[in-house]
Each structure stands twice: as structure tokens, then as C-alpha cells.
Amino acid sequence: MQKGTALTPAPDNKALIVFDLDGTLLDTHADLVESLNHTIAAIDLAPVSYDDLTSLVGQGARVMIERAGRMRERPVTQEELPALIERFVAHYTANMPGHTQPYPGLVAAMDRLKASGYALAVCTNKMEGLATTLLQKLGLTHYFDAITGGDTFEYRKPDARHLTGTIERAGGVLSRAVMIGDSINDIAVAKNAGVPAIAVPFGFSDVPVASLDPDVIIAHYDELTVELVESLLQGSAARLAV
């Protein structure tokens, strides 16, 4: 699949639900920690733990490696970065899907939404190739009308154009879109694009998601219903009409 290419067209006038990946769709924490520790061992940095992860993830592999270096008070140089990124990507790809699993209730929720005619997409700051391969390994690619990553466009979350570009490539429209995520980048990109934001509290946010002021928080994917999505879209339409 080419970068950001739509997989299938979204149904006319149906909602498009856009998901973040890490910490929202998938619990990737164990594999991210393993691949990051494999990577930073090359420059003799002490390993990180799951407790460190919330302050490291959110902007892709490059930033994660740079943040790990700062955390260990050993800044990574620009000369070192390309080889370290390559090391991370190689290890992460070779071990997919590893320990990664969809969050409880996710697949049933996606089945429910698809059966009602809604379209789904992924908007992640993870490299698009890594995101697509991981979803393929888990047998989930067919759910999504588009998958865009941090390298799909020249901009990434929280820049609104990452989300609006994802919506466009999925065949959706801004007025019928909802964003679901676990961190400040996800809630901020939704606000910047003017679409409703649903937050999940079980991901990798380093602050309580309520403090990010999403429109709704769902504690489990059983709560992601057609009725919830439609209520958010009706509220969004009312705001746009004012």
C-alpha cells in the first residue's frame, strides 16, 4: 500500500471514526519497551521501563529515542540517529506482533460500527509502514479505509492537517468524523481540526485524560456505540451551525 492510500471508499453521509494506534487501538507497550531498549543498548544507555513509556511515546521512533537519551542524561546526536532508528525499526518489525494485542472489546466495537455502515481509519505518529505491518500481522487491516502515519505527510499530530488528510484519504468528510485517542496529541489534533474527541484512559498518556478536556471518555470499547458517535456528531453539527 502506498503512503496514506485509501483502502476502500467511506460510505456517503456515514461517520468516519479515526483511531490513534499505540495506546488506543493496540496495547503495544511491551514491544515498544523491548525494541527501544535493544536500540539504546547500542550506545550503552540503561534500559527504560514501562513506567517511563508515557513520557517517551507519542511522536514516533525518532523522538522516542531522543527522549530516552535525554532521560538518561546522554543526548543522542544527529549523527547517531539514523543508525539507531534503523536498529529500532529492524528489531520492532522482526518481532511483530510480539506481545501486542487489541484492547478488550475493540474488535467487537469495530464489527458493530462496520455493520452499521461506518468507516474506520487510523491516524498515528508511528511510521506508516510499521503501523500497517503491525495491523496486517494482527489481521486487522481490512477494518480500515485508510492508515496514515507520522511520515505519511509533511506534518503529524497535533497538526490538524494530519487528521484532515486522513479523513480525506478515507473518503470521509470533516463534519462526519470523530477522533479517538489516549494522549494529548490525539485530543489536540481533534480540537485543532474541529472534530469531536473521544479519549480512552487505558493508554499511554502521562496525565489523566480528563485533564485534556475531550468530549467523552470511554473506559471500555463496549461503550463505543453507534448512539454515542451519533450524539457527538449531532453536537458537532449544532456547533458548526451557530
Residues labelled catalytic = 20
Strand-pairing partners, residue 121, are 18, 146
Instruction: Please give the order of strands across the beta sheet that includes 146-148.
Output: 146-148, 119-123, 16-19, 177-181, 197-199, 216-217
Q: Is the dihedral of CA 223, 131, 16, 156 positive or negative?
A: positive
CA distances 122 to 61, 101, 152, 216, Å, are: 17, 16, 12, 19
The Cα–Cα gap between 96 and 223 comes to: 29
Give the length of the chain.
Answer: 242
The Cα–Cα gap between 204 and 57 comes to: 8
CA 58 to chain centre: 8
Q: Are 122 and 85 in contact (CB under 8 A)?
A: no
Closest by alpha carbon to 39, among 47, 27, 50?
47
Beta-carbon contacts of 212 under 8 Å, excluding residues fewer than 6 positions away, are 183, 184, 187, 188, 199, 205
Residue 109's Cβ-side half-sphere holds a number of Cα atoms within 13 Å equal to 22
